[in-house]
Amino acid sequence: MKAEHMVDISPRLKRLMQRGTEFLGSELAIVCGAMSWICEHTLVAAVSNGGGFGTLACGPMDPHSLRKEIKATKALTPRPFGVNIIVIHPHLDELIEVCLEEDVRHIILAGGAPPANSVRKIKNGGAKAISFAPALVLAKRLVRMGIDAIIIEGAESGGHIGQVSTSVLAQEILPVVKDVPVIVAGGIGRGEMMLLYLEMGAACVQLGTLFACSSECIAHYAFKEAYIKAAARDALPSPQLDPRFPVIPVRALVNDGTREFVEKQREVIARCDRGELSREEAQLEIENFWAGALRRAVIDGDIEHGSVMAGQIVGIVNSVKPVSVIMEELLEQADAELRKRENM
């Protein structure tokens, strides 16, 4: 299967993308970030066929399900794609083995610091190991560990987020980390911003929210409609009422579920304070509130009570577009910026 037609891009933009494209094996240094229930074989293949680099979100899949999903992706594209695996998955080693057996050449370890033995397993199997670095100190540690590339993802992103913005992380890490490619993610929705990070030293950029609203994405039409109607200020982190009961921050569109989550915390904390629940029982009740909520939103279209994870860039999403059009617009915007500078 051939890649879809790509617009011509300037030699300068190609040069800026060269390190990333050589590392990924793709035509463009544009990665689709892994999003559970969204980044399945259809969208991943569309991104790779469009010249970018798709990433399968393993999420809660077991090894058998992951193998099926990899095969389904390969049936739709001959081009490179990666697999994102959560490091706390109980079958982490088996999932890595499946990727290696299926000749997946890029494996992203997410959700925490990657185990050194997992990184070695990936590299010894001939694949590239990629991990997230939320701070410079961890980025340096990952490089020493032998990681092949790092992703820096700012708080503007959708889903699970850190505390620091993309622009700050980029200024902290890009000038220092030179030994491995750095992929920048979070708050990127136009070609001008993509160009900025490439010029700062990023090898690639990673986008999620734009691709989640693509026509190839299997997400429910109500999910995409919520994106189109949303403003940047509607995508907020999960609220936390009491530091004794920490909430892992997840950026999503505010809805009835968000407000119910606040009430759930208030109720559970009061029961704990009255001695009706232990601290551990209360924490578990709070953590279980959103169980299955992302699937309800993405697959079932329950945008009122499900978790509509979205980055702040959702404010500029105004229609459902094919992946190829999204790619073309990013490239055209970046090239237009370069041409404008030449004429100044």
Could you tell me the pLDDT band of residue 107, with boundaries at 50, 70 and 90? very high
Contact 147, 114 (CB under 8 A): yes
Whether residue 6 is predicted with pLDDT greater than 60 in this model: the reply is no
What is the structure's pLDDT at 10?
A: 85
Q: Is the pLDDT of residue 2 over 80?
A: no
pLDDT at 5 > cutoff 80: no
Domains of the chain: 11-216+322-342 (3.20.20.70), 221-312 (no CATH)
What is residue 288's predicted lDDT score, i.e. its pLDDT?
86
Summarised one tens digit per residue, pLDDT across range 122-167 is 999 999 999 999 999 999 999 999 999 999 999 999 998 989 999 9
Residue 291 pLDDT exceeds 90: no
> Is residue 56 helix, strand or coil?
strand
Structure-block tokens of residue 8:
């011509």
Of 291 and 85, which is predicted with more confidence? 85
Give the model confidence (pLDDT) of 49-66 as tens digits.
Answer: 999 999 999 999 999 999
Closest CA to 325 of 14, 60, 46, 64: 46
* Nearest alpha-carbon partner for 304 in 199, 183, 223, 247: 223
Asked whether the predicted pLDDT for residue 8 surpasses 80, the reply is: no
Does the pLDDT of residue 319 top 60, yes or no? Answer: yes
* Strand order, beta sheet including 159-160: 159-160, 250-253, 235-237
% of residues, the chain, pLDDT over 90 = 89
Residue 253: which of 274, 272, 232, 267 has the closest Cα?
232
Q: Is the pLDDT of residue 314 over 80?
A: yes
Is the pLDDT at 3 greater than 80? The verdict is no
Cβ partners under 8 Å of residue 301, min gap 6: 220, 221, 222, 223
Backbone angles phi, psi at 97, to 5 degrees: -60, -40
pLDDT band, residue 287 (cuts 50/70/90): confident
Q: How confident is the model at residue 342 (pLDDT cuts 50, 70, 90)?
A: confident
Q: Which two tokens stand for residue 53?
A: 């680099």
The rounded distance, in Å, linking the Cα atoms of 307 and 287 is 13
Nearest Cα neighbor of 123 from 53, 206, 39, 180 is 180
Instruction: Name the average pLDDT for the chain.
Output: 94
